[in-house]
Amino acid sequence: MLQALLTDIPDGRRMTEDEAARLLSVRGRDVWAIAAAADRVRAEGVGEAVTWVCNQNLNVTNICVNACEFCGFSRKNGDPEAYFHSVDEVVSRLRAARGRGVTEICTVSGLHPGFTADDYIDLIRLIRQEAPDVHVHASNPQEVAYAAARSGMTTAEVLSALKQAGLGSLCGTAAEVLVDRVREEICPGKIDTAEWVRIITEAHRMGIPSTATLLYGHIETAADIARHLSIIREIQDDTGGFTEFVPLSFIPWTTPLYLSGRAPAGATGRLDVLVYAVARLFLDTVPHLQASWVKLGTKMAQVALMSGADDLGGTMYEESISKGAGAAGTDYLDPTEMRRIAEDIGRPLLQRTTLYAVP
């Protein structure tokens, strides 16, 4: 059955959701057969290049009205580790980014209790003012919904205002796992699956592209991951608005979900390989698959590049969210090291823009 499936899918037959769940449950040597099939599909679809973007993160605050069980980043007002960058601090970071030749600023923060739509809009305007040539990759469906609720606006009005202010693309985060049974346990304060789908679709139809993400390695099942992939594929079939898919391996160490004993210590290497390989085989209309070195570490990111991934993400600079969950070495990845990773598996390294143009 496995060999027939791994022949049929590269030949153009679409994998079903049940088949994806079965592949995600495979153990033993067959894991490598699935990875090899995904690697062939990657080579035929997008070629041999390993791409990267020169980007910088900007997490303005970790103060958040939510307390997601998988998160080690958020804090409440008054907590010793809570922070909220002033305008001057933000400007200093933006000027540093400009001096580094950064082409993308990526900003997602906590849902600060004082934020309204104006705060999100003004931040994008400030980025545009201080770094006019960068691509602004910002916010996500949860932030859009929060801004709309806080300001008496529709989500479409918020998205339109963000785009007018200079938003280039929307972060496809806050997706976690698009299965409400899982969401109710790991992020009960967040929007539900239907709302996430509605807002991301709304953004795509307004000409705002986005990434798509998956948080895996906690309480989800193989069937849950397959359902998530199916939803992403359905949206892409409808809008074509996803630029890339980014699996995010759960970093457990400081999270309530792990510390309470309800989740394991993150994904195993087997699951990391299978999530990347199955995503490449299943998401036939999403061109790019990013190996998140921040979540995987550079060694496992290289394995992901041999299991269907074609992109290493960005330089990052000042990563805070994974670091808050206990990950080490997340602040910066030098392009020289990226080149070593790519050339070690016999592939060239190419710098790209956020939307995957190669300068």
Going by C-alpha positions, the residue among 140, 103, 92 that lies closest to residue 120 is: 140
* pLDDT tens figures, 274-312: 999 999 999 999 999 999 999 999 999 999 999 999 999
In a domain, 266, yes or no: yes
* pLDDT tens figures, 183-192: 999 999 999 9
pLDDT for 329 equals 55
- Residue 274's contacts (CB-CB under 8 Å, 6 or more residues apart) are 23, 24, 26, 31, 34, 35
- Residue 89's contacts (CB-CB under 8 Å, 6 or more residues apart) are none
Provide the pLDDT confidence category of residue 319 given band limits of 50, 70 and 90. Answer: very low
SS3 301: helix
Q: Which domain, by its residues, includes 318? A: 16-351
pLDDT for 191 equals 98
212 has a pLDDT exceeding 80: yes
Annotated binding site for [4Fe-4S] cluster: 64, 68, 71
Domains identified in the chain, total number:
1
In a domain, 68, yes or no: yes
In a domain, 1, yes or no: no
* pLDDT tens figures, 108-118: 899 999 999 99
In a domain, 47, yes or no: yes
| Number of neighbouring beta carbons within 10 Å of residue 291 | 27
In a domain, 8, yes or no: no
* pLDDT tens figures, 111-139: 999 999 999 999 999 999 999 999 999 99
Computed over every residue of the chain, the mean pLDDT equals 94
In a domain, 3, yes or no: no
CATH of the domain at 270: 3.20.20.70
In a domain, 85, yes or no: yes
pLDDT for 359 equals 75
322 has a pLDDT exceeding 60: no
The predicted model gives 320-347 an average pLDDT of 77
How far, in Å, are 33, 116, 123 from residue 164 at the CA level? 47, 17, 13
β-strand pairing of 135-138 with 169-170 = parallel
Provide the pLDDT confidence category of residue 323 given band limits of 50, 70 and 90. Answer: very low
Q: What is the pTM of this model?
A: 0.95
Annotated binding site: 64, 68, 70-71, 176, 292
In a domain, 259, yes or no: yes
Provide the pLDDT confidence category of residue 330 given band limits of 50, 70 and 90. Answer: low
Annotated binding site for S-adenosyl-L-methionine: 70, 176
Annotated binding site for (3R)-3-methyl-D-ornithine: 292
340 has a pLDDT exceeding 60: yes
